[in-house]
């Protein structure tokens, strides 16, 4: 039996030190070895190990071991011995999939993970060509509901071409401990909350909108979803129904940047904030005294919207210097 405890080193940046650990230190103890990291790090971690050799290796025996191991969030080789100790991951099963458009899906996954707050994410992983490939995904479901992920294929990506092809019954590794600070707990008191997403950045907002807290804390909520085409406006029916349920408190604004926008606003969220058309459509005006914005998805959108809103007196929220904008970049 091997148990591990992750101590996340979020501020870790030294690549020289990383290489030393990377090449030399993986697991302290006999019988388990990982090697061949081949990808970029997402969230380097130090792992504390405690366990018994034999439970994890096929060699048997009962030698106890413990120690620390630097474990960058890399793709890693998956040997038969390591497979049994996919540390921190639970083997889940795809329970259902919904296809919104080619390459754009929602997966429902059966996996026993730890409790989470709406807005948090977990890593999903697959064994691909002898490597364990994992990436972060926001949980789109409310706590207690079947675990749901809103996913887009990045055609040249390492994971999503396979992840978005999983069918019901397929195995997928799910990180047991949800992570992240993109939650309502970090939003300062205010009256009006804007949830601004591009693409699958809608995921964490779905989890929030499907939970009770948002309706207890904010007088008004404005959901904004920017997508390339009408076909990419997933969850439109559910969001429209929520709007009807919370009439006068929830507005749902769609933007479509290419092709016919239908009833959506044309263009990007940046231009629609800049020219006032977004606030007009939402029926709500941004005000530094009342508003907080959560931005999620495309990193350029986050930078550009932040710059546009600075002209309106809204600035990034930090614990030491409270502001109005909190964001989660997807890449
Ligand atoms: C906290 C967090 C939560 C996330 N939640 C979700 C989620 O709920 N749903 C979701 O679909 N993705 C989400 N992502 C993005 C996800 O982690 C992966 O980056 C993405 O799925 C691509 O993985 P990949 O291995 O296929 O591509 P990679 O091999 O990692 O990337 C290939 C290239 O594509 C670019 N790229 C990465 N992601 C995207 C993207 N989404 N669109 C366009 N280009 C991209 C990268 O810059 C890179 O150059 C989240 C990321 C973070 C950090
Ligand atoms: N989303 C999908 O359903 C899907 C599925 C499979 C593959 N893909 C491919 O993946 C790539 C990106 O996918 P995506 O459309 O989900 O992601 P995206 O690039 O985040 O685009 C989503 C929306 O955000 C807009 N946007 C992009 N940059 C912005 C910025 N700086 N400021 C404001 N808005 C910005 C886009 O407008 P613009 O259109 O003007 O860029 C689009 O309306 C594309 O090559 C796409 O073909 C997408």
Question: Mean pLDDT score of the chain, rounded to an integer?
Answer: 81
| Residue pLDDT, tens place only, 48-93 | 333 333 333 333 332 232 333 333 344 444 555 445 447 899 999 9
> Integer distance in angstroms from the first to the last C-alpha of the chain?
36
pLDDT of residue 56: 32
| Residue where a domain terminates, one of 175, 210, 233 | 175
Domain count, the chain: 3
pLDDT of residue 212: 96
The proportion of the chain whose per-residue pLDDT surpasses 70, expressed as a percent, equals 74
Q: Are residues 69 and 165 in the same domain?
A: no
pLDDT of 13 > 60? The answer is: no
- pLDDT band of residue 311 (cuts 50, 70, 90) is very high
Q: Are residues 266 and 243 in the same domain?
A: yes
Calculate the CA 92 to chain-centre distance. Answer: 17
Given ligand 1 and candidates 108, 152, 157, which is best to mutate, with the most ligand atoms within 8 Å of its CB? 157
Between the CA atoms of 45, 50, 54 and 58, what dihedral angle is there, to the nearest 10 degrees? Answer: -10
**48 within domain boundaries:** yes
Q: What is the rounded distance in angstroms from the CA atom of residue 240 to the CA atom of residue 251?
A: 9
**256 within domain boundaries:** yes
pLDDT of 181 > 90? The answer is: yes
pLDDT of residue 319: 87
Q: Are residues 273 and 319 in the same domain?
A: yes
Q: Is the CB of 154 under 6 A from ligand 1?
A: yes
Please state the pTM of the whole predicted model.
0.81
Domain containing 320 equals: 184-329
Q: Are residues 293 and 194 in the same domain?
A: yes
Query: What mean pLDDT is predicted for residues 28-35?
Result: 29
Residue nearest to atom 13 of ligand 2 (CA): 199
| Residue where a domain terminates, one of 73, 97, 112 | 73
Q: How far is the CA of 146 from the centre of ligand 1 (A)?
A: 22
| Residue where a domain terminates, one of 175, 200, 234 | 175
Q: Look at 56 and 314; give whichever has higher pLDDT.
A: 314
CB-hemisphere CA count at 13 Å for 63?
Answer: 11
- pLDDT band of residue 145 (cuts 50, 70, 90) is very high
Q: How far is the CA of 266 from the centre of ligand 1 (A)?
A: 25
| Residue pLDDT, tens place only, 109-138 | 999 999 999 999 999 999 999 999 999 999
Q: Look at 36 and 93; give whichever has higher pLDDT.
A: 93
Ligand 2 site residues (CB inside 6 A) read 101, 103-104, 152-153, 198-199, 226-228, 232, 257-258, 268-270, 297-298, 300-301, 304
Q: Are residues 313 and 190 in the same domain?
A: yes
Q: What is the rounded distance in angstroms from the CA atom of residue 45 to the CA atom of residue 17?
A: 13
| Residue pLDDT, tens place only, 187-220 | 999 999 999 999 999 999 999 999 999 999 999 9
Cα-Cα-Cα-Cα dihedral sign, residues 187, 192, 198, 201: positive
Q: Are residues 114 and 57 in the same domain?
A: no
């Amino acid at each position: 039996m091997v148990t591990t405890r992750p101590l996340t080193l979020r501020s870790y940046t030294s690549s020289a030190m990383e290489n030393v650990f990377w090449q030399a230190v993986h697991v302290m103890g006999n019988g388990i070895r990982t090697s061949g990291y081949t990808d970029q790090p997402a969230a380097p971690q130090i792992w504390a190990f405690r366990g018994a050799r034999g439970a994890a290796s096929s060699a048997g025996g009962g030698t106890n071991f413990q120690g620390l191991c630097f474990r960058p969030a890399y793709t890693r080789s998956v040997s038969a011995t390591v497979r049994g100790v996919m540390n921190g991951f639970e083997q889940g099963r795809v329970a259902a999939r919904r296809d919104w458009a080619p390459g754009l899906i929602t997966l429902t996954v059966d996996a026993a993970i730890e409790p989470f707050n709406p807005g948090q994410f977990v890593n999903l992983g697959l064994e691909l060509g002898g490597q364990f490939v994992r990436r972060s995904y926001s949980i789109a479901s409310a706590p207690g509901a079947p675990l749901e992920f809103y996913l887009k294929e990045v055609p040249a990506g390492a994971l999503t071409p396979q992840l978005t092809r999983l069918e019901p019954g397929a195995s997928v590794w799910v990180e047991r401990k949800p992570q992240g600070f993109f939650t309502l707990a970090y939003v300062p008191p205010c009256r009006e909350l804007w949830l601004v997403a591009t693409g699958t950045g809608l995921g964490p907002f779905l989890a929030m909108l499907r939970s009770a807290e948002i309706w207890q804390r904010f007088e008004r909520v404005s959901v904004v979803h920017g997508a390339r085409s009408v076909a990419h406006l997933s969850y439109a029916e559910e969001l429209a129904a929520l709007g009807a349920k919370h009439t006068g408190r929830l507005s749902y604004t769609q933007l479509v940047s290419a092709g016919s926008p239908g009833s959506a606003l044309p263009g990007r969220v940046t231009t629609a904030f800049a020219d006032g058309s977004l606030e007009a459509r939402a029926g709500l005006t941004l005000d530094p005294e009342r508003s907080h914005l959560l931005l999620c998805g495309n990193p350029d959108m986050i930078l550009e919207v932040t710059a546009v809103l600075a002209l309106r007196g809204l600035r990034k929220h930090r614990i030491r210097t409270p502001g109005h904008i909190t964001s989660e970049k997807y890449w």
